[in-house]
Structure 1
Amino acid sequence: MSIPAQLQRYLKKQKLKFDVVEHKTIYTAYDLAQTTKEKLQAVAKTLVLKVHEPKKLSDDPQEQKGIHHVLAVLPAHVRVDLAKVKKLLGAKKVTIASEKEVAQATKGEAGAQTPFGGHHRLKVVMDAGLRKVGHALFGAGSFTHSLRLKVKDFERSEQPVTGAIAEKPKRKKERNENQTSAHHPR
């Protein structure tokens, strides 16, 4: 099992049942899906967000002030909608953290972060769409290993703030029209 020892201890403490999935070196959730032959919907991607003054992230008034890093976990086939995260958390502003901020917040390499907020001492926000799959592949702090576990077990462990935080996927026709109009202004 080649996942970081600290993460292994955290998962054991949380009593999570999981399988370690070994694969070739990957850097994106899309590559993970292609390599493991999983549907994109069953691959959980994790982003680190900077959230300014989140009123709904915690009942603790101290945690409602300042800037906080938060893990956003969503299916790999969709993009995060920062406006939806802002609304869900009652925040003043939400942005995607820089690579340097990701490394500092997660004590790991950008792109290899895990979704386990308790392990990183970060809060977690999850897209409700991830509940549509029973099991998902999650980051394991490694570019060559991932974890397969039940989404409901992840939720039990991490207690994420859950809501619709993904952009609606564009239909194929809309994507084609957008690509055409971007290259051929009318």
Structure 2
Amino acid sequence: MNKLQSDEALTRVALDASRRNIPIEIVPREKVNSLEEAAEALGIKSGQLLKSLVIKKSDDTFVFALIPGGRKLDWAKLRSQIGVNKLSLPPADVAWDVTHYESGTITPFGSHTVLPVFVDSSVFEEPEAEHIGLGSGDRGHGLLVKPRDFVSGFDATIADISTPA
């Protein structure tokens, strides 16, 4: 990703957060090689760093599923929650077309296509995290947001959609 793409991604994220009235913090970070390193760079625990997965429905529409680090998507639970029989993880180029973000940087903030958002309910187990970390659209930055602010700003659905990895 070149500097122009990086600046554009971060601008899209910041503008979308502002439009949704969601306070965020964009945090610069060095290149990371693991979930643990990414969480540490943001000053949070690995379970507070969420993967933003683009999920394709059988009708060729998409949703975001946000799953904490150390957990994996439970396909059956998500299918039941959405009310469909078939879901899939699209190839990286399709996820790019939907979000205009590279795999590993995807975030609902500033996504090219506005999608319904599902957040795993484990994010809200006690003690609830003060902040969760998300991709920022740019490999050199992460994003911090209060979980309840995120949910209300995106009108996200909180649902049991994961299992421990």
TM over 0.5: yes
Structure 1 residues not aligned, in runs of 5+ = 53-65, 171-186
2:46 to 40, 43, 47: 40
1:104 to 87, 97, 105: 97
Contact 1:71 1:115 in 2 (8 A): yes
2:138 to 139, 142, 147: 142
RMSD (Å) for aligned C-alpha atoms: 2.2
1:22 to 16, 28, 38: 28
Q: Which has the higher contact order (CA 8 A, sep 6+)?
A: 2
Q: 1:80 to 1:117 in 2, by over 3 A?
A: farther
Q: Which residue of 1 aligns with 2:83?
A: 90
Q: 1:89 to 1:110 in 2, by over 3 A?
A: same
Structure 1 residue ranges, 4+ long, deviating more than 6 angstroms after superposition: none
Once residues 79 and 27 of structure 1 are traced to their aligned partners in structure 2, the CA distance between those partners, rounded to angstroms, is 19
Computing the radius of gyration from Cα coordinates, the structure with the larger value is 1
SS for the counterpart of 2:153 is helix
Contact 2:151 2:157 in 1 (8 A): no
SS for the counterpart of 2:26 is strand
SS for the counterpart of 2:96 is helix
Q: Which residue of 2 aligns with 1:176?
A: none
Letter of the structure 2 residue corresponding to residue 17 of structure 1: P
Structure 2 residues not aligned, in runs of 5+ = 1-5
For residues 79-135 of structure 1, give each alpha carbon's deviation from its aligned partner in whole angstroms, at most 9, with x where no partner exists.
Answer: 111111001110120111211111111012121111337763111111011123231
Once residues 141 and 118 of structure 1 are traced to their aligned partners in structure 2, the CA distance between those partners, rounded to angstroms, is 9
So what's the TM-score if we normalise by structure 2?
A: 0.84
SS for the counterpart of 2:22 is coil
- Residues paired across the two proteins, number: 156
Once residues 13 and 163 of structure 1 are traced to their aligned partners in structure 2, the CA distance between those partners, rounded to angstroms, is 25
% same residue: 23
Q: Which residue of 1 aligns with 2:3?
A: none
Q: Which residue of 1 aligns with 2:68?
A: 75
Mapped pair 1:152 → 2:148: yes
